[in-house]
Amino acid sequence: MKKSIYTSSLTLLLIGTLLTGCEDFLEETNRQAISIPSSRENAESFNQLLNYIYEISRDNTTRYAPDMLYVLEDLGTDIVTRSSPLTGTDAINDYVDMNASNYVMQVYWANQYQIIAAANTLLENADLIDGVEEGLKSRGVGEAKFFRAWSYFKLVENYGGVPIVTDPITTAKSDFTRAEEQEVYDLIVSDLNDAINTVDENPEVYGTVSKDAARHLLSKVLLTRGYKSFAAPDDYERAISLAETVIANHPLEPTFAAVVDIENQRNDEVIFSYLFGSESSSVGWGNTKHLLYKFEYFNYSGLERGTLYQNGIGRMPTPYFFNMFDPEDTRNEETLRYVIYADVAEDGLEVGDTAIYFPKTAWSQARIDSKPYTVINPHEYLVNDGVTNVHFPMFKKFDDPGAPFVYANERALGDRDMIMMRGAEAYLIAAEAAFQKNDLDAAATYLNTVRSRAGLTTPLTATDIDITLILEERARELIGEVNRWMDLKRTGTLVSRVLEYNPHAALNNAITEKNLLRPVPQAEIDASGKTISQNPGY
């Protein structure tokens, strides 16, 4: 009896103590991710780190945050305003109480630095990953620098001098300080020159960065720097020369219709696009452009939420924009939809009948009353009738038929290519640089090429050229495609043109010179322990 007691006790003690010898009991088990050191053993990691730069850059471009699309690119400019009646206030569009706690300021800032961090991670690991073929390595490094430069360009134009981060951060570092604007430009130009030297002239894989993409971006950067106090003397000259090269490689499509045709989205004019595809795993958030510049059309007879006209996500072109087109300018009809057809039988309308019509010149009430469909005259786009906030010719330029109907905070899943750079802009960059150099004939020539493609038959002459005309041409050709806010800021016309042409901003009359820089996000300043300083006036 005694013996068995002791035996049992000893057994228990042994279980309790011997098993403590399992040293690995406290080791972590990793089944969800790859550690950085182990990734370096696989040459494929290089490609995958590089691919991520494309992914994050694409997804942070197509949206800022789940319900925020491009708002710092064209809201609060001369050609786009908020889609609400002429009352109230707004921080982004009207510049009323725009402050450092505004969420979009934080999101936009952080988004660019996420892209920069992804680029820095690749650059850091390029030489540490085993077995990466040299050609691939130098090309990849160039692509990473291209995206890094692009992000810094957005940062420096929106916020002024920003902290320059060129290495991956691996510690709890917080004491960042802002560099001078000029230093940021130096980095951008240097990165883009590196990119031009190392990326492919004609990439094998569609959607990757080509030399022309880097040239195009650099020409725009140099054009922008040309206006600055720290401009290099040959900035405009180089901008033109880079644009010329790009133009030579990316000739204009014969018609504007061909440019926006979804069946023709991979044409020669395209320099760089983000690709989405329809695979759930790789589509990301999806292209969101088809959702924009729409009103709540589905509140009208014969219309319902659908996959053709997409959601009525706000922001509308300004009356100034609607009046900007010459009658023979094909870009008007290719950009905007003046007729909306019924997609449900309702109130006497059959599917396919006209549901809403926007005459370009006002119809009489009698003529309107004679129609079974809704007619909205040009002066009524912004008039509040108690039913809907605004109604106006919606965009069709970015249409993506078949993409699911979604709300602003949901994955848009548009699979149309998102064209970020095309030859027509190279002409406009060259035109502006030539104008700044006072080479008005050259400027007229560049502009005329673009205009005649749009169907305009009367050529401009040197005396016609001014910055207003260049900006209007950019608006007609590129609305929704390029960053209008940065165009206005660059040309020094932001405050005056917004007050003149943006009806909501004009109502509140709040924009001032301080708004040429966005407020640095307060959370960023707070997190830095205040080593990051604020822009004047915020």
Partner 1 sequence: MRKLLQLRMLRPIFAILVLLGTEVSQANTYVKFYSSYEQKSISGVVYDADSGETLPGVTVNIKGSNTGTVTDLDGSFEIKAESGSILVFSFVGYVSQEVIIKDQTSLSINMETDIASLEEVAIIGYGKVKRSNLTGSVSTVSSETLEKTNKIDAVSSIQGQVAGVTVQRTDNKPGSGGFNIRVRGANTINSGSGNGGYSPGQNPLFVVDGIFVDDISFLNPADIERMDVLKDAASAAIYGSRGTNGVVIIQTKKGKEGKMSIRYNNYVGFKEIYNLPPVFDGQSYIPFLRDVVVGNQFASNKDGNFSQYSAAAVNIEDYLSEEELQNIANGVSTDWVDLITRNGFQQNHTLDLSGGNENTVYAAGLGYTEDEGTTYGEDFKRYTLKGNIQSDLTDWLTFGYDNYITLATTNEGSLEAFRSAYRLKPIGRAYDENGDLLFLPTQKETQVSNPIFDTKNWKLENKYINFIGNISLSIKPLKGLSITTKFAPNVKYTRLGEYRGLYTKSAIGNQSSTRAQVDNFLDYSYTWDNIIDYNKDIDSDNSIAATFIYSRFLQENESYNIQIRNFSSDNFLFYNLGAGSNINSYGSGFSKQTLESYTARVNYNLMDRYILTLTGRYDGASVLSEDNKWAFFPSASLAYRVIRENFMNSQKVFSDLKLRLSYGQTGNNGIGGGLNPLGTLSLLNSSYTNLGDASVPTLFVSGLANQDLSWERTSEVNVGVDFGFLNNRLTGSVDIYNRNIRDIIFFRPLPTATGFSGTFDNIGESRNRGIEIGLNAKIIDNDNFKWNTNINFASNRNEIVNLYNNSNEIIFGAQGGTFIHRVGEPTGSLYGYKYDGIWQLDQAEEAATYGQKPGQVRVVDINGDGQITEQGDRTVLGNPLPKWTGGFTSTMNYKDFDFSFFVYTSQGVTISSNFHNARAFSYDGEPARLWNGYDTNYWTPDNPTNNWFQPGNGGPYQQAIKNMDVSFVKVGFMTLGYSLPTSTTEKLGIKRLRLYTTVQNPFTFTDYDGWDPENAGRNTYGAAFMSRTYMAGLNFSF
Q: Which residues, listed in sequence order, are joined to residue 336 by a DSSP beta bridge?
A: 395
Smallest gap from Cβ 222 to partner 1, in A, equals 25
- Closest distance to partner 1 from the beta carbon of 19 (Å): 8
Q: Which of residues 314-353 bind partner 1 (CB under 8 A)?
A: none
Binding residue (CB under 8 A) for partner 1 from 87, 229, 364, 463: 87
Q: How far is the CB of 4 from partner 1 (least distance, A)?
A: 9
Nearer to partner 1, 56 or 430 (CB): 56
In the bound state with partner 1, the residue whose beta carbon lies nearer, of 389 and 445, is: 389
CB of 281 to partner 1, least distance (A): 4
Q: Judge whether 392 and 322 are in contact, CB under 8 Å.
A: yes
Considering only residues 401-430, where is the footprint of partner 1 by CB under 8 A? 404-407, 410-411
Check: CB of residue 341 under 8 Å from CB of residue 328.
no
- Closest to partner 1 by CB, 300 vs 358, is 300
Site for partner 1 in 353-392 (CB under 8 A): 384, 386-389
- If one counts every other C-beta atom within 10 angstroms of the C-beta of residue 24, the result is 6
Distance of closest approach, residue 39 Cβ to partner 1, in angstroms = 5
Provide the phi-psi class of 358: left if phi over 0, else alpha when psi is between -120 and 50, else beta. Answer: beta
Element (H, E) at 142: helix 134-159
CB of 509 to partner 1, least distance (A): 6
431: tokens are 């035109």
Q: Is 89 in the site for partner 1 (CB under 8 A)?
A: yes
Q: Which stretch in 235-243, 299-307, 339-347, 460-468 sits in contact with partner 1 by CB under 8 A?
A: 299-307
For the bound state, the minimum distance from the C-beta of residue 16 to partner 1, rounded and expressed in Å, comes to 4
User: Is there binding between residue 443 and partner 1 (CB under 8 A)?
Assistant: no
Nearest residue (CB) to partner 1, 3 versus 361: 3
Quick check: 65 binds partner 1 (CB under 8 A)?
no
Q: Does position 176 bind partner 1 by CB under 8 A?
A: yes
The strand pair at 374-375 and 354-357 is best described as parallel
Q: How far apart are CA 338 and CA 395, in angstroms?
A: 9
- Other Cβ atoms less than 10 A from the Cβ of 503: the count is 15
**What b/e string do you get for 257-273 counting C-beta neighbours within 10 Å, with b at 16 or more?**
eebbeeeeeebebbbbb
Count of residues that bind partner 1 according to CB under 8 A = 111
Q: Which residue from 138, 168, 241, 330 is in contact with partner 1, where contact means CB under 8 A?
A: 168
Phi, psi of 354 (to 5 degrees): -65, 130
Q: How far is the CB of 406 from partner 1 (least distance, A)?
A: 7
Where helices occur in 269-364 by DSSP H, the ranges are: 319-322, 330-335
Cα dihedral: 228, 223, 53, 64 (round 10): 70
Which residues, 94 to 133, sit near partner 1 by CB under 8 A?
97, 99-101, 106, 109-110, 113-114, 116-118, 120-121
Say how far residue 299 (Cα) sits from the centre of its chain: 29
Q: Which is nearer to partner 1, 103 or 230 (CB)?
A: 103
CA torsion angle 241 247 249 250 (round to 10): 150
The DSSP secondary-structure symbol of 346 reads B
Residues 134-153 binding partner 1 (CB under 8 A) are none
For residue 476, give both structure tokens.
Answer: 């007609």
Subset of residues 484 to 523 that bind partner 1, contact rule: CB under 8 A: 507-509, 521-523
CA dist 16 and 19 (Å) reads 6
